[in-house]
Every structure is written in structure tokens, then in C-alpha cells.
């Protein structure tokens, strides 16, 4: 049997009759419009519905039921879409022993049909981002395509809905799904002191979002920022049926320069060499898109090996949210096509200084390391070798000009080398360290 839509709205007209008179029950028309604002960081959606209500002169009662849905009763709010002096919303009550139902008392100075906005928060709708990247044959650029998948398990279907997706954190301590069942007063009293869903923040964000959406549309999506949020608006309206998913295009085949890096970091990865794809989230000459943060999600990477017809699978990873301008490192895991072998060639200590009691005050340490590199691939690669020194007062001597050297912090150094295809080579470096003993108790007469 087809499931009946669980949200019901009905209008009860109280005529100027004795209290015992019959109350007419009028079923309201379907939604004229609906907009959904889905928050990525929480299982929360802000719903705005517009319905045309026919009111009689005098007192009207509007009944709203959210049976079998995940609506937060404390968030339900109704107002005229356009300011009107003819409409006065007197109060809202929640009948005893009737969970998931609210009744508004509305006074109208004349018989009128007026569009009303119904707003509420609901759980059960969420969205996730998914990306597919295709590396060029030389691995110097990639085509990036992104989609978002919207999942509806809220208990309610939304037809012809305008969709906004919000990337950012919301001040919310009680999950909506925990508040959706039962009487709203019980939901309020059951919260711990200090917990809240910041509805004002949600409503203000929606107002900022409406005013910010004025940029030209690149394809089907446009983006705006409001405070610490990024808001994505999709032009095409969608039918989000309950227990169905919907896929929307976020970005389509954007050309992005990348750096293909093989990193050796013994402290982090042991003796393995890990492959990374690095890129910066910014517009380029190849890609004149508007600056846009990228929501975090899963990414799968392939490589074009023949005229965009044949591809190899390179790996997958998970991306965190990517602000504009941030450099991204996609870790594809360890591999054996590029190897790094580090060996200690020399090591000595000398130039000891002692105090009057024979304790060591300072000394110098010298060592030389050799790094052997081997690239068996058919493309050139960038190799990073990261080394940690257990000292702060040190100096590096590097004679190979084809190797770049960078000090990351007072304990860490990084060597970068571009290695041609099918190449095996290496480089050496000398390290001079000045040690100082601040405790003054190291090795009595040691080193004499």
C-alpha cells in the first residue's frame, strides 16, 4: 500500500456561534513552495514551506501534525509571507495527550487568502560530497569532478524543492532526532541546562543566504558565504522522496595543476615511501571558476594512459573541508615504484668543553648521511625526504645543486628532488650540531 504523506495541515474555522456549534474542518491545499537548507555538520535541515491559507473573518485555528517524521516541535514557526495588518497570530498550543500536533489561533479582520510561511527543523536529511579526479598522462594536472548525494530518510517527501547545502558548524548540542518525538514541552524540559538548538542563528543565516545569492550561475550551482559558512544553491528544483537519494552536480571537470610527490618520512611512515597528490584550491588560468571552498568527502583518482579512453586506478582517500587558498595533500598510500634508502656514512663527536669539576659543558657532533633514490616509473616524479634532528642548534652542508633544502621547523628538515623517469641516483649532506649541557652533570671526565 502506498504510504500516506505524514504531515497534515488543516484549518478549523470557529464561527460566531455558541460554543456548542459544530467546528468545520477544512483540509489545506498542498505546498505552493518549499526550500530545504541542509547542514553538513549535523543531521539537521531547515525547512521553509509556503501554503496559501483561506481565512474567514474572526478566529481561525490551524492544526499541524508531524506524525512519523523527525521534526523538532520546539522549532515550528508560522508567519505571513508578506507583512499584513489583517492577520494576527494569537498563540500556539500543543494538545495534551496528543503528541506531534500543534494548533495555532489566528485572527483575521476580513475573509482573505494569504500565503503563510511554515518553518521548522527536521532530522533525517543529509548530504555527502564525492569526487572523481583523472590525472593527466604526465601527472602535472588533473580533471576534478564533484557531486553531492542528498539522502532523505526524514519520513516526509518534498516535491519540487529548492535546495541549499551549508558547509560549516552550527551551534547545536541536542540532535534533532532526539527532540522529534513526544510533546514539545517535554522536549524542552528534558534538555540539560545550557543546551539549545540555535534557531536564531539558523534563521539569520537563511536571511543572509537569500541576500547573498546574486552571482552569475556557473552551470547549475552558485555559492555564497555568510560569516563562517559556505552556502551552495542549486538552480534546478528536485523531488526528494522519503527513503530516496538524489545526486547533484557540484563541479564539473575543473582543470587543476597538481604535484605528484613521493615522500619518505621515517618517523611517520617507517621505511616506506608514500605517494601524495598536492594541489591548491584556487582559480587558475586554465580554470576561471569563482573561488569556492570544497566540502570534504571521498575522492577516487584515476590516470589517463591513452587519449582519455584508457585509465588506471591510482587510489582513493577522504578529504576534509577545503577552504579557498588551502594546499591539499591527498595521501594515496605506500608503493614500491619509487624507493628511498637512507644510510649513515660518518659520525663523530669532538670539541668537548668542561667545567672546573670535569663535567661536560658543550660539544660538537658531526655526521654525514647518504640518500639513495630510485625512480622506476615512466614519468618524472618529485621526491621529498623529511628528516628529524634531535637538536636545535645545527647547520646543514649540501653540495648537490639539484637537491632543494628547506627548514620546516627547528627540529625538521626537508629535501626535495625532481627525478627523471627510470633514474637511480643519490646525494649526501653533512650535519654539524652544537650541543650544550644545561644540567652540568653529564659524564665526569668524559672525552678526555
Domain boundaries, the chain: 255-334, 338-436
Average pLDDT over residues 364-389: 94
Per-residue pLDDT of 164-206, as tens digits, reads 999 877 665 455 555 555 555 555 444 443 334 444 444 444 4
Please give the C-alpha separations between residue 72 and each of 68, 178, 182, 198, 201, in angstroms, as whole numbers.
12, 8, 10, 12, 16
Average pLDDT over residues 240-262: 92
What are the two backbone dihedrals, phi and then psi, of residue 62, each rounded to the nearest 5 degrees?
-115, 125
Average pLDDT, the chain: 81
In this structure, of 10-14, 57-61, 72-76, the range with the lowest mean pLDDT score is: 10-14
Average pLDDT over residues 142-158: 94
pLDDT (0 to 100) of residue 66: 86
| Size of the chain in residues | 448
Average pLDDT over residues 68-72: 90
In this structure, of 210-224, 240-254, 323-337, the range with the lowest mean pLDDT score is: 210-224
Compute the chain's Rg from CA coordinates.
Answer: 33
pLDDT (0 to 100) of residue 8: 53
pLDDT (0 to 100) of residue 308: 80
96 pLDDT tier (thresholds 50, 70, 90): confident
**C-alpha cell belonging to residue 382:** 618529485
Q: Considering the entire predicted model, what is its pTM?
A: 0.76
pLDDT (0 to 100) of residue 12: 52
Please give the C-alpha separations between residue 362 and each of 387, 393, 395, 441, in angstroms, as whole numbers.
24, 12, 16, 11
Residues 6+ apart with CB under 8 A from 214: none
Three-state DSSP class for 261? Answer: strand
Dihedral sign (CA 201, 204, 205, 206): positive
Three-state DSSP class for 80? Answer: strand
**C-alpha cell belonging to residue 113:** 487568502
pLDDT (0 to 100) of residue 196: 41
pLDDT exceeds cutoff 50 at 286: no
pLDDT exceeds cutoff 70 at 214: no
221 pLDDT tier (thresholds 50, 70, 90): low
Percent of the chain with pLDDT over 70: 76
pLDDT (0 to 100) of residue 83: 85
* Strand-pair category, 58-66 with 101-108: antiparallel
What one-character-per-residue DSSP string does 206-251 give?
HHHHHHH--S--STTEEEEEETTEEEEEEEEEEEE-TTEEEEEEEE
pLDDT (0 to 100) of residue 175: 56
Please check whether residue 34 is in contact with residue 162, taking contact to mean a CB–CB distance below 8 angstroms.
yes
Amino acid at each position: 500500500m502506498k504510504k500516506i504523506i505524514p504531515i497534515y495541515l488543516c484549518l478549523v474555522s470557529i464561527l460566531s456561534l455558541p460554543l456548542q456549534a459544530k467546528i468545520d474542518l477544512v483540509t489545506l491545499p498542498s505546498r505552493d513552495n518549499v526550500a530545504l537548507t541542509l547542514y553538513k555538520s549535523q543531521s539537521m535541515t531547515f525547512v521553509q514551506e509556503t501554503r496559501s491559507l483561506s481565512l474567514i473573518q474572526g478566529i481561525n485555528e490551524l492544526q499541524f501534525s508531524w506524525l512519523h517524521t523527525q521534526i523538532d516541535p520546539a522549532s515550528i514557526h508560522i508567519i505571513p509571507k508578506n507583512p499584513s495588518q489583517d492577520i494576527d497570530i494569537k498563540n500556539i498550543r500543543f494538545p495534551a495527550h496528543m503528541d506531534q500536533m500543534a494548533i495555532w489561533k489566528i485572527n483575521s479582520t476580513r475573509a482573505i487568502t494569504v500565503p503563510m510561511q511554515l518553518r521548522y527543523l527536521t532530522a533525517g536529511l543529509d548530504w555527502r560530497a564525492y569526487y572523481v579526479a583523472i590525472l593527466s598522462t604526465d601527472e602535472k594536472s588533473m580533471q576534478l569532478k564533484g557531486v553531492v548525494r542528498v539522502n532523505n530518510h526524514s519520513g516526509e517527501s518534498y516535491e519540487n524543492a529548492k535546495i541549499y547545502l551549508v558547509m560549516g558548524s552550527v551551534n547545536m548540542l541536542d540532535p534533532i532526532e532526539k527532540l522529534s518525538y513526544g510533546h514539545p514541552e517535554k522536549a524542552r524540559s528534558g534538555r540539560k541546562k545550557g543546551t539549545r538548538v540555535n534557531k536564531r542563528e539558523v534563521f539569520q543565516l537563511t536571511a543572509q543566504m537569500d541576500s547573498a545569492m546574486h552571482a552569475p550561475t556557473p552551470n547549475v550551482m552558485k555559492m555564497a558565504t555568510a560569516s563562517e559558512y559556505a552556502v551552495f544553491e542549486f538552480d534546478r528544483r528536485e523531488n526528494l522522496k522519503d527513503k530516496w537519494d538524489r545526486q547533484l552536480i557540484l563541479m564539473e571537470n575543473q582543470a587543476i595543476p597538481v604535484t605528484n610527490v613521493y615522500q619518505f618520512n621515517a618517523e611517520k611512515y617507517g621505511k616506506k615511501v608514500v605517494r601524495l597528490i598536492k594541489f591548491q584550491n584556487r582559480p587558475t588560468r586554465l580554470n576561471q571558476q569563482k573561488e569556492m571552498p570544497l566540502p570534504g568527502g571521498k575522492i577516487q583518482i584515476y590516470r589517463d594512459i591513452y587519449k582519455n579512453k584508457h585509465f588506471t586506478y591510482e587510489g582513493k582517500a577522504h578529504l576534509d573541508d577545503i577552504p579557498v587558498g588551502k594546499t591539499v595533500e591527498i595521501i594515496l598510500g605506500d608503493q614500491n615504484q619509487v624507493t628511498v634508502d637512507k644510510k649513515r656514512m660518518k659520525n663523530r663527536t669532538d670539541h668537548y668543553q668542561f667545567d672546573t669539576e670535569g663535567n661536560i659543558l658543550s660539544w660538537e657532533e658531526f655526521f654525514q648521511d647518504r640518500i639513495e633514490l630510485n625512480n622506476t616509473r615512466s614519468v618524472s616524479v618529485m621526491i621529498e625526504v623529511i628528516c628529524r634532528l634531535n637538536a636545535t642548534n645545527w647547520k646543514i652542508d649540501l653540495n648537490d645543486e639539484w637537491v632543494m633544502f628547506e627548514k620546516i621547523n627547528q627540529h625538521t628538515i626537508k629535501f626535495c628532488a625532481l627525478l627523471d623517469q627510470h633514474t637511480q641516483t643519490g646525494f649526501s649532506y653533512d650535519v654539524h650540531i652544537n650541543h650544550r649541557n644545561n644540567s652540568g652533570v653529564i659524564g665526569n671526565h668524559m672525552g678526555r
